[in-house]
């Protein structure tokens, strides 16, 4: 357990953050949505409350809510300290400042935890991991991947990114990935390879600017779609 929980910090974002990161329109919201690597985001619970359809997958769903919360609490101060010591790297738009960021991350975690057990029973939180997803071809209309692919480019290879993107395109009509920056705030070196690989399967790609920005210049998403 600690191995997986050590690799990627389980921080979660809200529905409003997902809407801004992925430029979600009213038409997008009514689609059958897959949240890939959703972790402790409150996107699923907030969308479900309003009657929308979201299935979230993440390998951390093999753990209990208490275990996920513990890992989050263990990391929170360290991550926020890193933000504090690198002030030039952040843009305060959605979150007003570091304290607001802390409050928002804790609120999201509380919302996720309140829904987690019910959501697991309803099949809305499912244990699965890229690059192999347990879904039929085209089972979803839209797949969203926030803060996993590209962000962890130093931990996951180009081949992993390519295979994962192809798998997401298999299970969903359209895929959106945000951000395109790595943890070190460089443009991911895997973007070109992903775009070339999906293009050879007839899938188009565009890079779009979105309203959300926390990592400075981290306001772009990759959209993969069949025309
Ligand atoms: C930084 S969190 C982002 C959570 C959420 N997407 C958000 O933006 O609020 C990254 C998530 O990726 C998940 N993850 C790690 N390995 C994965 C894999 N192979 N496939 C899918 N998700 C994975 C982690 O467990 C973690 O929950």
DSSP for 79-127?
HHHHHHH-GGGB--SSS-SHHHHHHHHHHHHHHHHHHHHHHHHTTSEE-
Nearest to 39 by CA among 14, 61, 7, 20: 61
For ligand 1, mutation pick of 6, 8, 61 (most atoms within 8 Å of CB): 8
Ligand 1 center to 38 CA (angstroms): 6
Strand partners, 176: 144, 223
**Ligand 1 pocket residue status of 12, Cβ below 6 Å:** yes
Taking each helix axis from N to C terminus, what angle separates 191-199 and 158-171, rounded to the nearest 10 degrees?
40
Ligand 1 center to 226 CA (angstroms): 25
The secondary structure of residue 188, as a DSSP letter, is P
Omega within 30 of 0 (cis) for the link into 211: no
Specify whether the CB–CB gap between 80 and 108 falls below 8 A. Answer: no
In order along its 227 residues, the chain shows pLDDT tens digits of 334 545 677 899 999 999 999 999 999 999 999 999 999 999 999 999 999 999 999 999 999 999 999 999 999 999 999 999 999 999 999 999 999 999 999 999 999 999 999 999 999 999 999 999 999 999 999 999 999 999 999 999 999 999 999 999 999 999 999 999 999 999 999 999 999 999 999 999 999 999 999 999 999 999 999 98
Ligand 1 center to 214 CA (angstroms): 18
The secondary structure of residue 182, as a DSSP letter, is -
Please enumerate in sequence order all residues whose Cβ is within 8 A of that of 60, keeping only pairs 6 or more positions apart, or say none: 4, 5, 10, 39, 40, 68
Specify whether the CB–CB gap between 123 and 55 falls below 8 A. Answer: yes
Category of 67 on φ-ψ map: left (φ > 0), alpha (ψ -120 to 50) or beta: alpha
């Amino acid at each position: 357990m600690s191995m997986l929980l050590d690799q990627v910090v389980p921080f979660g974002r809200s529905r409003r953050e997902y809407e801004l990161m992925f430029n979600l329109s009213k038409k997008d919201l009514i689609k059958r949505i897959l949240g890939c690597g959703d972790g402790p985001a409150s996107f699923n619970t907030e969308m479900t409350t309003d009657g929308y359809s979201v299935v979230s997958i993440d390998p951390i769903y093999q753990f209990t809510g208490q275990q996920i919360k513990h890992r989050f609490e263990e990391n929170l101060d360290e991550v926020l300290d890193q933000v504090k010591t690198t002030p030039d790297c952040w843009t305060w738009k959605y979150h007003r400042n570091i304290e607001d960021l802390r409050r928002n991350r804790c609120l999201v975690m509380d919302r996720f935890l309140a829904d987690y057990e019910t959501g697991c029973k309803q099949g809305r939180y499912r244990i699965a991991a890229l690059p192999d997803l347990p879904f039929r071809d085209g089972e979803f209309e839209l797949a969203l991947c926030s803060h996993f692919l590209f962000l962890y480019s130093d931990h996951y290879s180009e081949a992993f990114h390519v295979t994962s993107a192809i798998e997401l395109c298999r299970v969903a009509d359209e895929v959106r990935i945000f951000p395109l920056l790595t943890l070190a705030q460089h443009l991911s070196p895997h973007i070109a390879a992903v775009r070339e690989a999906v293009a050879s399967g007839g899938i188009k790609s565009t890079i779009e600017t979105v309203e959300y920005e926390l990592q400075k210049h981290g306001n772009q998403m990759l959209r993969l779609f069949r025309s």
